[in-house]
């Protein structure tokens, strides 16, 4: 047998995409392929694309064009492959395969078929696959952190979102399967698990006939991992039983990522999230009472079709009133195939950009105040990087999720991938600064 080709992977998009990338890497390595970080040296470059919003698509297209211009053989996977499979093959002669979001586990077979001269189109119309603890995985995060997918797909039909079309219906893993993978990750020294899906608070609804996030959290409380963080927690799913599980499970952080998208009931109705307008204020109040140390992150969309100045003012006041720790703001992206694509009263990009900047200007002093509250405190920090020139360590406290929140810059000695005590001595809008506290 001849030598197997070398493969590089370019990862774009969200952490759900990242897990797909990690499984493709694991399957290729298990099958004996060499994986090289240098795309120029690889026989094939797999580009795991994102197609969530226009900006993400532009980044994916830019990457594909650059590789094509360098005469690389490209395998296109992920959301853009699912979305634009035929167009990609037509417009990029260098693309030797497109692989959909429910087909990444076939990557070894795809490469083998490409090697025989086939141009492969492996895209299931209704994605139905979900990896489990038996699927090989090669982690690409820092050594102390791992994402853990509890479910894939989505049954909601928010009018702005293309994800159900690209990822299929919700399909949850069993509690036993998730705990088994968590145990594997604990044995690799992982200190922080981040639970992800499209709607984590709906976990289990499809296989257990009711949401089972509370039961899952309690089961993960038995795993030897210090931090468990929940992403994509929709407000209506934060039931008393889930809140109680967060309170009573020692390693579940009181950090909640609530993608609220807007505050005004009329805009939420247009977004096909009418239920949310009734619960936003109540759930945030309830969370702050039940979990006094809760860290709240949310995202908003500004410039949704029909958003008036009054609607936007409502959102500004909501952000000022509730003082969430972290806020991300996106401008509306009209996605073909979604209900919002055809809505009247689409706003100019300039108006949307101005509203995004205005909302962030309101949030920044809130974020600064939250960070200043940490001054003088000793907090646990997961050390993830070291500046080779200065020796300065970089990590995150429990208040900060990777990629989307701030960092803690640390003076002193500590090993990468460990959690250490740090006294916070300074802060700015996004980051904290401190020194390792030596044991007595």
First to last CA, the chain: 61
Examine the pLDDT at 126 and tell me if it is beyond 60: yes
| Residue environment code for 229-267, b if the CB has 16+ CB neighbours within 10 A, otherwise e | bbbbbbbbbbeeebbebbeebebbbbbbbbbbbbbbbbb
Structure tokens of 91?
Answer: 């417009």
- Ligand-binding annotation for 374, yes or no, is no
Q: 52 falls in which pLDDT band (50, 70, 90)? A: low
pLDDT of residue 53: 67
Q: Does domain 375-434 have CATH number 2.40.50.140?
A: yes
| Each residue's pLDDT tens digit, 85-123 | 888 888 888 899 999 999 999 999 999 999 999 999 999
Q: 16 falls in which pLDDT band (50, 70, 90)? A: confident
Examine the pLDDT at 278 and tell me if it is beyond 80: no
Q: 65 falls in which pLDDT band (50, 70, 90)? A: confident
> SS3 of 331, please?
strand
Examine the pLDDT at 374 and tell me if it is beyond 90: yes
Q: 258 falls in which pLDDT band (50, 70, 90)? A: very high
Q: Which of 345, 254, 335 is nearest to 297 (CA)?
A: 254
Examine the pLDDT at 73 and tell me if it is beyond 80: yes
- Ligand-binding annotation for 161, yes or no, is yes
Examine the pLDDT at 387 and tell me if it is beyond 90: no
Radius of gyration in angstroms for the set of CA atoms belonging to the chain, rounded to a whole number = 22
Examine the pLDDT at 1 and tell me if it is beyond 60: no
- Ligand-binding annotation for 14, yes or no, is yes
Mean pLDDT across the stretch 33-55? Answer: 86
Q: 330 falls in which pLDDT band (50, 70, 90)? A: very high
Determine the CATH number of domain 4-120: 3.40.50.12160
Secondary structure (DSSP) of 82-109? HHSHHHHHHH-TTEEEEE-TT-GGGHHH
pLDDT of residue 2: 60
Query: What topology does CATH give the domain 143-371?
Result: pyruvate-formate lyase- activating enzyme (3.80.30)
| Each residue's pLDDT tens digit, 155-191 | 988 999 988 888 999 999 999 999 999 999 999 999 9
Q: 37 falls in which pLDDT band (50, 70, 90)? A: confident
pLDDT of residue 274: 82
pLDDT of residue 214: 98
Mean pLDDT across the stretch 54-70? Answer: 83
Domain spans of the chain? Answer: 4-120, 143-371, 375-434
Mean pLDDT across the stretch 347-353? Answer: 97
pLDDT of residue 310: 98
H or E element in which residue 279 lies: helix 276-290
Query: Cα–Cα distance between 301 and 305 in angstroms, integer?
Result: 11
Least confident piece of the model among 125-139, 221-235, 271-285, 310-324? 271-285
pLDDT of residue 202: 95
Does residue 280 or residue 247 have the better pLDDT? Answer: 247
Mean pLDDT across the stretch 31-53? Answer: 87
Query: Cα–Cα distance between 34 and 42 in angstroms, integer?
Result: 9
Query: Cα–Cα distance between 254 and 300 in angstroms, integer?
Result: 21
Mean pLDDT across the stretch 24-47? Answer: 92
pLDDT of residue 248: 97
Pairing of strands 44-49, 34-35: unpaired
pLDDT of residue 206: 96
Examine the pLDDT at 23 and tell me if it is beyond 80: yes
């Amino acid at each position: 047998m001849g030598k197997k080709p070398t493969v590089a992977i370019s990862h774009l998009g969200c952490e759900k995409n990242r897990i797909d990338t990690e499984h493709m890497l694991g399957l290729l390595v298990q099958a004996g392929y060499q994986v090289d970080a240098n795309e120029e040296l690889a026989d094939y470059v797999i580009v795991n694309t994102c197609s969530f919003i226009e900006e993400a698509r532009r980044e994916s297209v830019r990457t594909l064009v650059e590789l094509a211009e360098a005469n690389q053989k490209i395998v296109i996977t992920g959301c853009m492959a699912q979305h634009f499979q035929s167009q990609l093959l037509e417009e990029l002669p260098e693309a030797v395969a497109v692989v959909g979001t429910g087909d990444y586990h076939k990557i070894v077979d795809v490469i083998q078929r490409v090697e025989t001269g086939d141009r492969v189109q492996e895209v299931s119309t209704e994605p139905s696959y979900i990896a489990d603890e038996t699927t090989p995985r090669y982690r690409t995060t820092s050594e102390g952190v791992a994402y853990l997918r509890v479910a894939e797909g989505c049954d909601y039909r928010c009018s702005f979102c293309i994800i159900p079309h690209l990822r299929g219906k919700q399909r949850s893993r069993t509690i036993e399967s998730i705990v088994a993978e968590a145990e594997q990750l604990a044995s690799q020294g992982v200190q922080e698990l981040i639970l992800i899906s499209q709607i984590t608070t709906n976990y289990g609804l499809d296989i257990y006939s009711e949401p089972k996030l509370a039961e899952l959290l309690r089961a993960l409380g038995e795993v030897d991992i210090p931090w468990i963080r929940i992403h994509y927690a929709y407000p209506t799913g934060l039931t008393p039983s889930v809140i109680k599980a967060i309170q009573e499970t020692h390693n579940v952080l009181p950090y909640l990522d609530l993608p609220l998208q807007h505050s005004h009931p009329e805009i939420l109705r247009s977004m096909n999230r009418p239920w949310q307008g009734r619960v936003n204020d109540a759930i945030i109040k309830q969370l702050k009472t039940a979990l006094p140390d809760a860290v709240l992150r949310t995202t908003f969309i500004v410039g949704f079709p029909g958003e008036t100045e009054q609607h936007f003012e409502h959102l500004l006041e909501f952000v000022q009133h509730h003082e969430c720790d972290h806020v991300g703001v996106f401008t509306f992206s009209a996605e073909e195939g979604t209900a919002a694509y055809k809505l009247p009263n689409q706003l100019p990009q300039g108006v949307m950009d101005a509203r995004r900047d205005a909302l962030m200007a309101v949030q920044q002093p809130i974020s600064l105040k939250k960070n200043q509250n940490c001054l003088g405190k000793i907090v646990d920090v997961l050390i993830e990087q070291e500046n080779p020139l200065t020796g300065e360590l970089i990590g995150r406290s429990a208040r900060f999720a990777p990629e989307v929140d701030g960092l803690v810059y640390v003076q002193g000695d500590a090993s990468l991938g460990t959690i250490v005590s740090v006294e916070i001595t300074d802060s700015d809008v996004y980051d904290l600064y401190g020194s390792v506290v030596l044991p007595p």
